[in-house]
């Protein structure tokens, strides 16, 4: 059972952090060549597909992470690296929730209304939040993958 939980946890983290890395470092520069309306529409379509899957990843991460923490480490007596992973992961989840329920909703509305200047402002906010979450995600992955050797 532990292997299944660990695999689910790893794959959910890989999807979320890898998706952000792809969006931030590959798609973002490539989309920069598009004109404003096309670029903003592309991002709306990308986020409409990506963000719900991040929500699924969060559920998997919480369920698998806390199950392993309590079954393997006796709960909150877990090693420090588990707490680092938990703390940065929760911070990432809170940033995701803010992104989803505030700038993403405004961005979608502005793109739907062809209000390109305001859509661009919201995309800048989303980009900043994704950048912060990407850094936190890398820290989280490093803690999870190297922490037992600290």
Distance CA 17, CA 103 (A): 20
pLDDT for the residue numbered 40? 98
pLDDT for the residue numbered 119? 98
Written as six digits, the tokens of 96 are 């995701």
Who's near 64: CB < 8 A, 6+ residues apart? 5, 6, 8, 9, 12
pLDDT beneath 50: ranges in the chain: none
Q: Which domain holds residue 84?
A: 2-149
Question: Is the separation of the CB atoms in 40 and 119 below 8 Å?
Answer: yes
pLDDT for the residue numbered 130? 98
Count of the separate structural domains present in the chain: 1
pLDDT for the residue numbered 139? 98
Question: Is the separation of the CB atoms in 95 and 133 below 8 Å?
Answer: yes
Q: What is the pTM of this model?
A: 0.95
């Amino acid at each position: 059972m532990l292997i299944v939980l660990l695999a689910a946890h790893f794959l959910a983290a890989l999807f979320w952090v890898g998706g952000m890395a792809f969006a931030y470092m590959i798609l973002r520069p490539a989309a920069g060549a598009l004109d404003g309306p096309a670029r903003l529409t592309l991002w709306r379509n990308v986020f409409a597909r990506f963000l719900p899957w991040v929500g699924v990843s969060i559920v998997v991460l919480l369920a698998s992470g806390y199950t392993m923490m309590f079954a393997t480490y006796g709960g909150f007596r877990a090693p420090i690296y588990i707490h680092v992973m938990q703390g940065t992961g929760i911070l990432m989840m809170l940033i995701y929730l803010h992104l989803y329920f505030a700038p993403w909703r405004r961005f979608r509305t502005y793109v739907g209304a062809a209000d390109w200047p305001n859509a661009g402002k919201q995309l800048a906010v989303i980009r900043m939040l994704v950048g912060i979450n990407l850094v936190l995600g890398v820290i989280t992955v490093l803690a999870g993958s190297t922490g037992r050797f600290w």
